[in-house]
Amino acid sequence: MSLDLRVDRSSPVPLYFQLAQQLEAAIEHGVLTPGSLLGNEIELAARLGLSRPTVRQAIQSLVDKGLLVRRRGVGTQVVHSQVKRPLELSSLYDDLEAAGQRPATRVLVNTVVAASPEVAVALGVPEGSDVHRVERLRLAHGEPMAYLCNFLPPGLLDLNTDQLEATGLYRMMRAAGITLHSARQSIGARAATADEAERLGEPEGAPLLTMQRTTFDDTGRPVEYGTHTYRPSRYSFEFQLLVRS
C-alpha cells in the first residue's frame, strides 16, 4: 500500500481515529478502490509506529461503516465508498452510476394492485382503483443497498421487468416523454423488520434510513409515489442549507 499516512501524537484526536479518517478519505476519493487490499495490520502498525490494537480499532471502525470487509484467507479488503445522495430530484440508479458504484437491480414485484388510501391520496386516484406496484432491490458492487417500492398511475408507462432491471425508473419515464418537475419528500429512520433485514443483509432491528417521495410532472400531475428503505452504512443524504438574512 503506497498511501501517505501520518498521525499527529500531539493532537487531542485519538490516533485510531486519525488513521481511520485518512483511510476513509482514501476510499471516498478513489485512491483505495473497491477490491483493493488494505495490507497487513502488523506491517501498518510498524510503519506508523502504532500498536496493533490501535490499527485494529481504526480498521474495525471502517468495517462497521461498511467500507472494509475482512475476508479469511484474503485479508482486509475495500468494499466501496458510501454513497452520499444530494437532496434533489434524481434517481438512486443515476446517483450510484455517477458515484462509480456499478448499480444493479433485482425486480421483486411488478404487478397491478388496488390503491390503498395512502397511495390514492399521493397519486390523486380513487381509493381501490388500479395502480402499478413495483418492488426492486438496488445493489451496488453486488451488495444490497436499498429496497424500493414505487406506485404509478395506470397507463403512464410500460413497466417492462427487463427494462426495470437494466436501468432506472426515472430514465424510463424521461424516455417515454414524461418531464419530471418537482417532488414532495420526507426522510426518516426506523428499525428493520425481519423481512427488511433479510432483504438488505442487516440484523433484525438494525437502523434503516427511510424516504417517501411523490413526484410530479411539469403539468402538476403526480406520476410516482415511492417508499424506500436504505442501509445507513452504505448510504446517506446530503443537505445544502441556505442562510436567509
List, for residues 9-64, the tens digit of each pLDDT value: 888 888 888 888 888 888 777 788 777 888 778 888 888 888 989 988 888 888 87
Residue 214, Cβ density class (10 Å: 0-12 exposed, 13-18 middle, ≥19 buried): buried
Closest CA to 154 of 127, 125, 131: 131
Of 196 and 82, the one with more pLDDT: 196
**CATH superfamily placement of domain 83-238:** Chorismate lyase-like (3.40.1410.10)
CA–CA dist 115, 227 (Å, integer): 14
CA–CA dist 154, 112 (Å, integer): 8
Task: Give pLDDT, residue 88.
Answer: 46
CA–CA dist 241, 3 (Å, integer): 34
Buried b (16+ CB within 10 A) or exposed e, 1-26: eeeeeebeeeeeeebbebbbebbbeb
- Band of residue 177 on the pLDDT scale cut at 50, 70, 90: very high
Per CATH, the number for 15-78 is 1.10.10.10
Question: Please, what is the angle between helix 52-64 and helix 41-48, to 10°?
Answer: 120
In sequence order, the 6+-apart residues with CB closer than 8 A to the CB of 223 are 152, 153, 156, 173, 178, 180, 215, 216, 217
CA–CA dist 186, 190 (Å, integer): 13
The pLDDT of 77-92, averaged and rounded, is: 57
What are the domain boundaries of the chain? 15-78, 83-238
